[in-house]
Amino acid sequence: MPEYEGTVIRPPSEADSLILQYTIGCSHNRCIFCPAYKQKQYRVRSLAEMEQDILECAPAFGDARRIFLADGDALAAPQEELLALLALLRRHFPKLQRVGMYANAGSILGKSVEELSCLREQGLGILYLGVESGDDEVLAWMRKGATAADMVEASRAVKEAGIKLSVTVLLGIAGADGSMRHARATGKLLSEIGPDHVGALTTMVVRGTPLHALQETGAFTLPGPFALLAELAEMIGHTEMRGLFYANHASNYLPIRVRMPHQRAETVRMLRELVQREDAFLLTPERSRRL
């Protein structure tokens, strides 16, 4: 089997997918909270390298229905190379139904709607976009490299091309002081985007990241568990969309799955009641939380 360079990072929904490493690292790689690709120099692997991996995998995984192209931001690869790779995948995996990959606002906006549509026609079925926050001040502070308006424009291009869109947001990334402002702005942004799925993760301050350095100096304070749940309630309360809103990542203190908009009011009420009671017994223990 092909060797994978570094740690495999993929969305939870791709747990049963065949993972093929098309890019090494992340094309942006500046976000202050993210440790994932700091030791990697971004590059796109050649079609020859990918074909060799595919030939090694096909005998064992020839019936694969879903394939995820790692690492971060495979969409940043040149359009013609992406199309050629998708054609290779369809040739060697005849039952393939969907290819997924990470993207950022820059790589999406670097392609026209027509180019995205061509990728969809060749098998690209879903893009995973890290939105993180709808607050421009927070986005600039975390060095995200995109504004809320960029996120909206990129998301609309994905949807216009007929590709499913799954976005992630970060609880706690605005710190204790900016928590509610971040929650409301992010809910507003999600409402404008209208993604198919939202995944809310809790910010984990990882040693060695710029965010950890800020925490050490007192310039950043992560909200406590119940403040994070209050932030989540505020965010969901300000989000108007049709689709699924997940907060069941291992980093979260309380796993929830919300079918929007039908379960929104009930979920917000439940979260606010839990925050008011401060019943720590209901929370995921610290030892069980992880990236």
* Predicted confidence (pLDDT) per residue in 57-106, tens digit: 999 998 999 999 999 899 999 999 999 999 999 999 999 999 999 999 99
Which residue pairs, CB below 8 angstroms and at least 24 apart, start in 93-96? 93/18, 93/58, 93/61, 93/62, 93/63, 93/64, 93/67, 94/62, 95/62, 95/63, 95/64, 95/65, 96/64, 96/65, 96/66, 96/67, 96/123
Domain count, the chain: 1
Does the residue 258 lie in any domain? Answer: yes
Is 193 part of a structural domain of the chain? Answer: yes
Q: Has residue 52 got a pLDDT over 70? A: yes
Question: What average pLDDT does this structure show over 178-185?
Answer: 98
Q: Is 1 within the bounds of a domain? A: no
Q: What are 126's two structure tokens? A: 């879903």
pLDDT of residue 152: 98
pLDDT in tens, 163-179: 999 999 999 999 999 99
User: Taking Cα atoms as reference points, which of 66, 158, 46 lies closest to residue 107?
Assistant: 158
8 A C-beta contact, residue 222 and residue 175: yes
Residue 9 has pLDDT above 90, yes or no: no
Query: What's the domain range around 41?
Result: 12-284
Give the predicted TM-score (pTM) of the model.
0.94
Q: What is the CATH number of the domain that holds 161?
A: 3.20.20.70
Q: Tens digit of pLDDT for each residue in 101-155?
A: 999 999 999 999 999 999 999 999 999 999 999 999 999 999 999 999 999 999 9
**């971004």: which residue's tokens?**
42
Nearest CA-CA partner of 275 in 253, 250, 245, 244: 253
Mean of pLDDT over the chain? 94
